[in-house]
Chains A and B, each alone.
Chain A
Amino acid sequence: MIAEAGLAALWLAAGLALVQLALGWGAARSGSAELLAATRRVSVAQGVLAMLSFGVLILLFLQSDMSVQLVAQNSHSEKPWLYKFAGAWGNHEGSMLLWVTVLAMAGGGVALVERRIDGKTLAATLGAQAAIAIGFYAFILIASNPFLRLNPPAPEGMGLNPLLQDPGLAFHPPTLYFGYVGLSVAFSFAVGALLTREVGPAFARAMRPWVLIAWVFLTIGITAGSYWAYYELGWGGWWFWDPVENASLMPWLAATALLHSVTVLATRDGLRAWTLMLAVVAFSMSMIGTFLVRSGILVSVHAFAVDPTRGSFILALLGIYIGGALALFGARVSTVTQGSTFQLVSREGALVLNNLLLSVILGIVFIGTLYPLLAQAMGQQLSIGAPFFNKASVPVALVLVVATMAGPLLKWRRDRWGALGRQMALPGVVSVLAFAALAALSGSSDWVALIGLALAAGLAVASVLPLWKRNLRRTPLHIWGMVIAHVGIAVSIAGMASDAAFKQERLVALRTGEATTVGPFQVKLADVRPAIGPNYSAMQAHLDVTRSGGAPFVLFPGQHYFSSPVTTTSEAAIKTMADGQLYTVLGEGTGDGRWQVRLWWKPWITLIWFGGALIALGGLMAMIGRLRRERRPAAGAEDGE
């Protein structure tokens, strides 16, 4: 009965979405306050029903109800409860239900709290949000029903892919989905504003917290996903330019551009059309990402639902929503009056540069991800990997770092080159000195990475300059947020560049008792022995490590053999130190008593994820700061921060 209740809730939610669309449409046309109030209530109810439905699915997984096909295919009664719980979204149907649930919750959230924009635009926004939801409800109910029964029930479940059995990963998809789908609010706001032609600072201020929170979730999701891939896959890399990684990066890039342009719109009433465009693009990228994962048209480790029927369905939805929004944009944007203008050397100018550079990177990632598809259509098989993405995007990213240094130091509307020069003197000198020192002392010949490190140093300095001569206690929270997020970017880039320039790798076959060195470490293979885990057996190596002049420690990299489903995973053992990580992987035995051991010394690599966390923290602070400021009744106009 429980599964049927979940399905019923889902059908009801879908029905309410239809009602919401109709009411929203009516309210947007008539401007009737009663209709708008009804639309709000229906939005909230739809969100609650979707949550209920998803809650039921989680319950079914926790109870290991093997009469439900999805549970039988993706869970196992012997699994630790956390993975039963996470199993609810570790599969196609469940993740789509989570997707639509977040979508409905976001719509409900807008309906509950949004009081600032005019009623017609809000009604159109809620209508647009409902229109998106209807498509995804239809997709789930028609093509991916998670509540299908199995008759007779399975005696036991088939288990969850062991790679996914990791506490970090349990919360990776929901985090990303909150980000992806949170951007749907920006999309719906843009559609609503295009319909009513009400684009201005009030609209931007209403949209901004949603963009910020979605962006924070995306940042956390991408950062955590990167770390997960780093320690779980055992390949020693932290970013693989895999299509699905790119699918999460593209909305992030668009959202990063959006949250900067929306600030221009909120503060200076500029960049109206561009901001609308970005809002549409950001969520479009989220949907394209979903499509790439779900359709299997691009080969990827993430493509766990390779199914052309579902792919066609999602593609049709994409056509309707993205095509529709872009067509609406084309038809309506010329009637959106132009906002205020500005000089080239100004805060707005730097933010436009930031937007352009982010768009270029987005374009590079987009083309690189989809080009294999295009080539395939022309009868060529090829894949595009890290060399293309790195070569094409890193130089643009480095220019973007320079723009990030300058932006916060410029005045709104108009500034002077001379003033900019004075402001940039200190970060510039820091960068040049850092580069000279690195080039002379480090011995690395990876010039791009050294430039990256030098610019990161300059950016760190430039980022805190806006606090100079300010009363720190009276500095608004969103300024702190910007400073911290920008410092986070510097920190993260320093980690990436340091890994590129200074990492050391060693692949050896060792007998027990033999030793090797990597970087400053002496590593001895003391023993390899079998071990037993809760749902796997393993071969585990015992490595004795000494760092020159440091205390010895041990590491236990291993190979895990899972029985349900049958899979082998390599479990890296990582020692984190203040100045980097020693990363060890046990490979296969060579048959003559030797074991492949792979070692990396990665100085400062942890900065990548630490920086990511800082960026997310900065975004969170900016969001809270903005919300608090706008709560104050007197804060009608922005004070130009």
Chain B
Amino acid sequence: MKRGLLIWAPLLAFAVVFGFAARELWKPSDRTIASGMVGKPLPQMALKPLLLDRPGFTTAELATGKPRLLNVFASWCIPCIAEAPQLMKLKAAGVEIDAVAVRDKPEAVEAFLSRYGDPYARIGDDPRSAAQLALGSSGVPETFVIDGKGRIVKQHIGDIREEDVPEILAALAEAAR
């Protein structure tokens, strides 16, 4: 009996591998890379202001009790233009939005904001993507929902579309509770 089971073990092992491989192969491919930081406090960072008219982005200032958005963007990023109207809408809804500007220049960001709207309360300068990497963000734009204690509760990868706005507002409301 024992030998009998052992003989079939390789086939069984192969069947398991086959099953997993088939499942992996046939499920729709998901090429987004989720951040490992979701659910954890924001990593400590103190980014210098990129523009003279507003502060940079410092983790220490976040424990205000009020949830907010952190938008990872760049003036050279086309999808960032696409999501600008949605960010303006969120701002109009009373959401405080901070930004990390990745590998960018003040003049370029000023031009970008005057052209597509300016939703940001703070803009931190991230000249070498160090802050972006610390956030676990793999591209621009990405938007993080931060709760009142400075914890990352949600990551939105890619531009925020019209239909994503309610979801983000819901996440902010959830974080406020």
On A, residues with C-beta under 8 Å from B are 273, 277, 280-281, 284, 288, 291, 295, 297, 308, 311-312, 315, 318-319, 322-323, 326-327, 329-330, 333-334, 370, 373-374, 376-377, 381
Contacts and interface: CB of A to CB of B under 8 A. Distances in A.
Given A323-B15, A323-B18, A373 B3 contact: no
Given A295-B25, A376-B24, 16 more contacts: A273-B7, A280-B10, A281-B10, A284-B14, A288-B17, A312-B22, A315-B21, A318-B18, A319-B18, A322-B14, A326-B10, A326-B11, A333-B7, A370-B17, A374-B20, A381-B33
Contacts of A319: 18
B25 A329 contact: no
A329 B10 CA distance: 9
18 contacts: A288-B17, A291-B21, A295-B21, A308-B25, A311-B25, A312-B22, A312-B26, A315-B21, A315-B22, A322-B14, A326-B11, A326-B14, A327-B11, A333-B7, A334-B4, A373-B20, A373-B21, A377-B20
A231 B34 CA distance: 34
A377 B14 CA distance: 16
Contacts of B22: 312, 315
A345 B58 CA distance: 69
A329 B12 CA distance: 12
B177 interface: no
Contacts of A329: 7, 10-11
Interface string B20-41: 1111111001000110000000
Main secondary structure of the interface of A (DSSP, over half): helix
A297 B24 contact: yes
Contacts of A280: 10
Contacts, number: 56
* Cβ-closest 6 pairs across A and B: A326-B11, A330-B8, A330-B7, A311-B25, A297-B24, A377-B20
A633 to B, nearest CB: 38
Contact of A377 (B3, B24, B34): B24
- Which of A277, A312, A330 has the most chain B CB within a 10 Å cutoff? A330
B18 A315 contact: yes
Contacts of B25: 295, 297, 308, 311-312, 315
A106 B131 CA distance: 56
Nearest to A332: B7
B147 to A, nearest CB: 23
A273 B4 CA distance: 12
A26 to B, nearest CB: 28
B146 to A, nearest CB: 22
A144 B147 CA distance: 52
Nearest to B24: A297
Nearest to B8: A330
Contacts of A284: 14
Contacts of A295: 21, 25
A323 to B, nearest CB: 6
A377 B23 contact: yes
A281 B11 CA distance: 11
B91 to A, nearest CB: 33
A332 B8 CA distance: 11
B71 to A, nearest CB: 24
Nearest to B10: A326
B11 A308 contact: no
A311 B14 CA distance: 17
Nearest to A281: B10
A300 to B, nearest CB: 14
A312 B34 CA distance: 26
Contacts of B20: 370, 373-374, 377
Contacts of B10: 277, 280-281, 326, 329
A245 to B, nearest CB: 19
Contacts of A318: 18
A377 B15 CA distance: 15
A35 B4 CA distance: 36
A280 B13 CA distance: 14
Contacts of A377: 20, 23-24
B24 A334 contact: no
The CB with the most chain A CB atoms within 10 A, among B11, B15, B29, is that of B11
Contacts of A376: 24
A288 B21 CA distance: 10
A139 to B, nearest CB: 15
B96 to A, nearest CB: 31
A5 to B, nearest CB: 35
A149 to B, nearest CB: 30
A433 B27 CA distance: 57
Contacts of B18: 315, 318-319, 323
B63 to A, nearest CB: 30
Nearest to A378: B20
Contacts of B15: 323
B34 A334 contact: no
Contacts of B17: 288, 370
Contact of A297 (B8, B21, B33): B21
Contacts of A312: 22, 25-26
B30 to A, nearest CB: 10
A323 B11 contact: yes
A329 B3 CA distance: 13
A388 B21 CA distance: 22
A420 B24 CA distance: 51
A482 B23 CA distance: 44
Nearest to B17: A370
Nearest to A328: B11
A64 B24 CA distance: 38
Contacts of A308: 25-26, 29
A19 B144 CA distance: 63
Contact of A381 (B23, B29, B34): B34
A294 B172 CA distance: 43
Nearest to A331: B7
B145 to A, nearest CB: 20
Given A315-B18, A318-B18, A381-B34, A330 B11 contact: yes
Contacts of A373: 20-21, 24
Contacts of A327: 11
A334 B4 CA distance: 8
Contacts of A291: 21
A327 B11 CA distance: 6
Given A291-B21, A308-B26, A334 B3 contact: yes
Contacts of B21: 291, 295, 297, 315, 373
Nearest to A370: B17
A284 B21 CA distance: 15
Nearest to A324: B11
Nearest to A322: B14
A333 B11 CA distance: 13
A251 B11 CA distance: 17
A277 B9 CA distance: 11
Given A315-B18, A370-B17, A334 B7 contact: yes
B18 to A, nearest CB: 6
A487 B9 CA distance: 36
A547 B14 CA distance: 54
